[in-house]
Amino acid sequence: MKIETLAAHCGHEVDSATGAVIPPLVLSTTFARKEDGSLIGEHLYSRMGNPNRQALESTLAQLEGGGACVSFSSGQAASMSLFHSLSPGDHILMPLEMYYNTRGLLETHYSRWNLQASYVDMTDLRLVDQALRDNTRLVFIESPSNPRLRITPIAEVSRLAHKIGAVCIVDNTWATPIFQRPLALGADMVIHSLTKYIGGHCDVLAGCVIGKDPDHPYMQRIRSFQATAGAVPSPFECWLLQRSIPTLPCRVRAQCASARRVADYLSQHRRVEATHYPGLASHPGHDIAASQMSDFGAMLSFETKGGREAAAKTCSRLQLITRATSLGGFESLIEHRILVEGPNSPTPPGLLRCSIGLENADDIIADLSHALDF
């Protein structure tokens, strides 16, 4: 089935007990046993499994073309489970530009038990090859990257990782499985913040890890960590995510079409120093993105002439686009990243990150035009 059909039908089987077309919400934390002590159904306790979570994980695995999915209460909890699957002394190769909280998780918490991490520009394969070590167990890709949308060649980096026996995982949050299928490109695992495009409404916090091989030792450890550590999404969150997935292809394609128009507009504006969007022919990763993505996504960032002060003034003048952290919802959001990341941030001080929503592109452009006209 095509991905639109998968999104519409996976996890939406007719309920055999009631005939309900929409799957029922199962809030029970525990499940009864028969007189002989055996379980009536397949579930024991909701931390270990729940019908809504099972349906969600099955759907997500199919959307990414994976063999198994393990869901968590946030994208960061999913990352934590991934790092927990490694051993002290193992080395992780990370991208130089990435979501700053993932780097913070490694440096603040996992460095204490000697999980080693180094950072490299993964757009340069020569640097990736040089940075690999004998104890490298995991190569982590974020493409497009946060916040300047740098593009990593997934197939080539996966081959380099496999050459030394390492596992390659791709954060596919920004691209979604609609625009990019990392497992088909050679990656072993995919990670998502489900809070973003898959949730799509800025009302659910969740994350997941999807693996090509459900029997891979790391996937087995991640599943065990989910069941024992308990950082799981609630049945209601799983139900909300399952509700959102059928509209995912339509939503992100509409958002992507608007993002292309906004990027074109910003790239020609006299007050904009640089526009970061892989759909622009001028973007240094445009050709690679075109080869591994079916479209270029709905995220972009731009740098204002005048640096931090000009960026702050632009934000303050916006009337339609909401100033808020996060992305992937139906409403357009903008964020002055350096204010979030702090004084040690490598992000340019004049950079504004935009998540393009479902508003009419003309209205988004008019709002940006007003904001930049000072």
Share of the chain above pLDDT 70, in %: 100
Q: Which pLDDT tens digit goes with each residue over 109-120? A: 999 989 999 999
Contact 122, 96 (CB under 8 A): yes
User: 320 by DSSP, 3-state: which?
Assistant: coil
The average pLDDT across 99-106 equals: 93
What was the pLDDT predicted at 370? 98
Q: How many residues does the chain have?
A: 374
Q: Which residue has the tokens 């074109």?
A: 264
DSSP 249-280: HHHHHHHHHHHHHHHHHHHT-TTEEEEE-TTS
To the query of whether residue 163 is one of the catalytic residues in this protein, the response is no
Nearest CA among 104, 187, 107, 103 for reference residue 143? 187
The H-or-E segment that residue 243 falls in is helix 235-244
Active site residue 99: yes
Q: What pLDDT, in 10s, does the model give residues 48-71?
A: 999 999 999 999 999 999 999 999
- Give the start-end residues of each E strand in 144-218: 167-171, 189-193, 207-211
Asked whether the predicted pLDDT for residue 17 surpasses 90, the reply is no
CATH of 248-372, one of 3.40.640.10, 1.10.340.30, 3.30.950.10, 3.90.1150.10: 3.90.1150.10
Q: Is the pLDDT of residue 35 over 90?
A: yes
pLDDT digits (tens, 9 = 90+) for 349-370: 999 999 999 999 999 999 999 9
**Per-residue pLDDT at 303:** 98
Out of 90, 99, 212, 367, pick the active-site residue: 99
CA distances from 307 to 266, 268, 336 (A): 16, 18, 11
pLDDT at residue 16 in the model? 84
Distance separating alpha carbons of residues 48 and 114, to the nearest angstrom: 29
Topology of the domain covering 3-246: Aspartate Aminotransferase; domain 2 (3.40.640)
- Catalytically annotated residue among 148, 196, 212, 337: 196
Give the alpha-carbon dihedral of 66, 72, 77, 80, to 10 degrees: -50
Residue 126 region by backbone torsions, left for phi larger than 0, else alpha for psi between -120 and 50, else beta: alpha
Round to whole Å and give the CA distance between 197 and 190.
Answer: 15
Mean pLDDT over 168-193 rounds to 98
Q: Which of 171, 188, 295, 367 is catalytic?
A: 171
The token pair that represents 246 in the structure block: 């059928």
Least confident of 9-18, 51-60, 196-205: 9-18
Active site residue 129: no
Residues 320-325 have a mean pLDDT of 97
Q: What average pLDDT is seen over the chain? A: 96
What pLDDT shows up at residue 300? 98
User: What is the biggest distance separating any 2 CA atoms in the chain, rounded to whole angstroms?
Assistant: 76
Annotated domain spans of the chain: 3-246, 248-372
Q: How confident is the model at residue 346 (pLDDT cuts 50, 70, 90)?
A: confident
Confidence class for position 341, pLDDT limits 50, 70, 90: confident
C-beta separation of 161 from 139 below 8 A: yes
Contacts of 95 (CB under 8 A, 6+ apart): 119, 120, 121, 122, 140, 141, 142, 145, 150, 152
Burial class (CB in 10 A: 0-12, 13-18, 19+), 325: exposed
pLDDT at 344: 79
In the prediction, which pLDDT does 345 show?
83
- pLDDT beyond 90 at 13: no
CA-to-CA distance for 63 and 6, rounded, in angstroms?
7
**Rounded Cα–Cα distance for residues 26 and 138 (Å):** 36
Q: Are strands 351-355 and 167-171 parallel, antiparallel or unpaired?
A: unpaired
Strand order in the sheet with 91-95: 68-72, 207-211, 189-193, 167-171, 136-142, 91-95, 116-120
Taking only the tens place, the pLDDT of each residue in 238-262 is: 999 999 999 999 999 999 999 999 9
| pLDDT reported for residue 101 | 92
Rounded mean pLDDT, 31-48: 94
